A and B are shown apart, each in its own frame.
Chain A
């Protein structure tokens, strides 16, 4: 009888538990992730299973400084409102991306006009443009509401409080550009239909900055050669060729 009970209850339970360890849970950060298509060879990918460093930021200067001085590249960003999303989800996703640093930012805002959080069944997920063109804030032309997070927001002690959470996934650049300019693929700019390669980051004090090149400028010529696609820029991104002169379109 005991063997029967063991077989009927214990073994299936054990199998159920083991199966739980293999499954990958739903990760909301992954769902809200933006900027796909960052070339892997552009950054140093950390080993799978390494827990990335987590940092809370209080202003967006920290993100800019990490890019300009820390040599970090933004792999993507995520944003949420309404519910608290534990940071372990961000760490999990960053680990899969190969990111070594996660910058998180959150602020709470009193919203007296909607005191009942159960009024909204779905979380409003705001997608926002990449941070390379400035602060990670949702611009007016690139935000929408989507029911991607089917859960009821929590109300315990937080009625009428709306949380805004952002996460930026960063990795160390593989190549340091002596000219002080980094580029972004046109398809990595959400909402943009422009196919021109643009400058993503200009290091202050660098030769590029001294030439008056600004982040977001469309690239016209590098070393006198016309740039038509990101393939033309790749040798300069990977430091196989050095940039001597850079010409951009002034908009």
Chain B
């Protein structure tokens, strides 16, 4: 046991002992097959990026530029657009996609006891905290918002000494990137006009979609 103590002291310094598991709020969807290539023409997109609760790129979350690149790649990969370009919301084109990414970490009231317990017990007592990503997309057609699907996903971070291989098995950046990509794909799949069955899972009588198509309001018989 006496030989084990120095190792126990060093282990938290060498490894993070953290295992991150997504809680499964965002469904894992493959990209929808588009009606025809470039069916939605040229589009612009903008990104509002918020991060709070000491959550930085060091924790594995994508920086604004990385997220922008990922969104651009996913939009291009959908093959629904002839051209995709990032602009500010004020400079939006005929078809504009406005993404909002909001990262939030464990609340301050929970953070203090979590950190105290973590450091005082040298990771022997397991602690956990949750980081959240709230991602939303607003599709503008001719300057008017048409649909705004949103998705939320959480990562539960289990910190325990015995989870030291966690960082090697699932590095924080990879886990976060997979989560962000899954959320972004979910939102992109819900762009109207991308695929006729893109909205089957949700509201069939979405009034916003009807308004976008210029359909009249249907009254009950």
Contact = CB atoms under 8 A, between A and B. Distances in A.
Contact of B203 (A4, A70, A84, A209): A70
A244 to B, nearest CB: 15
Nearest to B128: A20
A10 B219 CA distance: 64
Q: For the side of the interface on B, what is the size category? A: 35 or more
Given A9-B124, A17-B158, A178-B220, A88 B25 contact: yes
Contacts of B136: 56
Given A56-B136, A56-B150, A87-B152, A154 B219 contact: no
B220 A51 contact: no
Interface string A70-113: 11000000000001101110110000000001001000000000
Contacts of A58: 138, 145, 148
A69 B202 contact: no
Interface of B: 1, 4, 23-25, 27, 50-54, 100, 102, 104, 107-109, 124-126, 128, 132, 134, 136, 138, 145, 147-154, 158, 160-162, 201-203, 205-208, 210, 217-221
Interface in A28-83: 51, 53-59, 62, 65-66, 68-71, 83
Interface stretch (A127-135, A200-208, A213-221, A229-237): A200-208
B150 A10 contact: no
Q: 4 closest pairs, A vs B, by CB?
A: A205-B219, A65-B207, A86-B132, A87-B152
A224 interface: no
B53 A154 contact: yes
A5 B1 contact: yes
A151 interface: yes
Interface string A145-156: 000001110101
25 contacts: A13-B162, A17-B160, A51-B25, A54-B150, A55-B147, A56-B138, A65-B208, A69-B205, A70-B203, A70-B206, A71-B205, A84-B50, A84-B52, A86-B132, A86-B134, A88-B132, A88-B154, A151-B107, A151-B108, A151-B109, A154-B52, A156-B51, A178-B220, A180-B220, A204-B217
Nearest to A92: B25
Given A66-B207, A154-B52, A87 B126 contact: no
A200 to B, nearest CB: 15
Contacts of A87: 132, 134, 150, 152
Interface string A1-26: 10011000110010011001000000
Q: Which of A20, A55, A91 has the most CB of B within 10 A?
A: A55
Contacts of A204: 217, 219
B137 to A, nearest CB: 8
Contacts of A53: 149, 201-203
Contacts of A205: 217, 219-220
A205 B221 CA distance: 8
Contacts of B124: 9, 13
Nearest to B154: A88
B52 A156 contact: yes
A205 B219 CA distance: 5
Contacts of A158: 52
